[in-house]
Amino acid sequence: MNEKTVLVTGATGYIGRRLTHRLLETSAFKVRLLVRNKNKVQVSIADQVDIREGSTFDKESLAAALAGIDTAFYLIHSMGSTEDYQNLDRVSAENFRDGCIEAGVGRIIYLGGLGVRESASKHLLSRIETGEILSAKPEQIETIWLRAGVIIGSGSSSFEIIRNLCQKLPAMITPRWVRSQTQAIGIEDVLSYLQSSVELAHRGNLVVDIGGEKLSFQQMMQQAAEVMGLKRYLFPVPLLSPRLSSYWLILFTPIPYKLAAALVEGLKSETVLQNDHAARFYPEIQPLRFKQTVADAIHELEQNQVISRWCDSTGQQACDIKDFDNPAGAIFRDIRIVPFENGERQEEVFQAACAVGGPNGWFKYNYLWRLRGVIDKIMGGYGLNRGRRSNRELRVGDALDFWKVVDIKPGKRLLLYAQMKVPGEAWLEFDVQPDQLVQTAHFLPRGVLGRLYWYMVIPLHHFVFNNLAKTVVSSSTKSG
Q: Which is nearer to ligand NAP, 9 or 192 (CB)?
A: 9
> CA of 379: how far to CAs of 256, 321, 375, 404, 422, in Å?
11, 21, 6, 18, 10
Which chain residues interact with ligand NAP by CB under 6 A?
9-16, 34, 36-37, 40, 55-57, 75-78, 92, 111-113, 127, 148, 151, 156-158, 312-315, 319
- Shortest CB 54 distance to ligand NAP, Å: 7
Least distance to ligand NAP from the beta carbon of 76, Å?
4
**76 vs 297, which CB is nearer to ligand NAP?**
76
In angstroms, what is the minimal distance from the CB of 10 to ligand NAP? Answer: 3
Helix (H, G, I), strand (E, B) or coil at 435: coil
Least distance from C-beta 378 to ligand NAP, angstroms? 25
Q: Is residue 223 within 8 Å of 159, Cβ to Cβ?
A: no
In the complex, the smallest distance separating the C-beta of residue 112 from ligand NAP, rounded to whole angstroms, is 5
Q: In this structure, how many other beta carbons lie within 10 angstroms of the beta carbon of residue 480?
A: 12
Of residues 11 and 297, the one with the C-beta less far from ligand NAP? 11
Helix and strand totals (H; E) in the chain: 15, 19
Nearer of residues 314 and 436 to ligand NAP, judged by Cβ: 314
| Residue of minimal Cβ distance to ligand NAP | 13
**CA distance to 63, 161, 319, per residue, from 153 (Å):** 33, 11, 24
Considering beta carbons, is residue 155 or 175 the nearer one to ligand NAP?
155
Q: Report the residue number, 183 or 439, with the smaller CB distance to ligand NAP.
A: 183
- Cβ distance to ligand NAP smaller for residue 4 or 38: 38
**Closest separation in Å from C-beta 84 to ligand NAP:** 14
Helix, strand, coil percentages (3-state) for the chain, rounded to 5, are 45, 20, 35
Q: Which of 188, 374, 219 is nearest to 296 (CA)?
A: 188
- Nearest-approach distance from CB 122 to ligand NAP, in angstroms: 13
Q: How far is the CB of 113 from ligand NAP (least distance, A)?
A: 5
- How is 290-349 classified by DSSP, letter by letter? HHHHHHHHHHHHHTT-----TTS----SS-TTGGGS-GGG-SEEEEEEEE--SS--HHHH
* Residue 239: partners with Cβ closer than 8 Å, 6 or more residues away: 175
List the beta bridge partners of residue 407: 415
462 contacts: CB under 8 Å, gap ≥ 6: none
What span, in angstroms and rounded, lies between the C-alpha atoms of 178 and 97?
37
Compare residues 94 and 347 and give the one whose CB is closer to ligand NAP.
94
What SS3 state is found at 216? strand
Residue nearer to ligand NAP on the CB measure, 76 or 103: 76
CB 439 to ligand NAP: min, Å: 27
Element (H, E) at 114: none
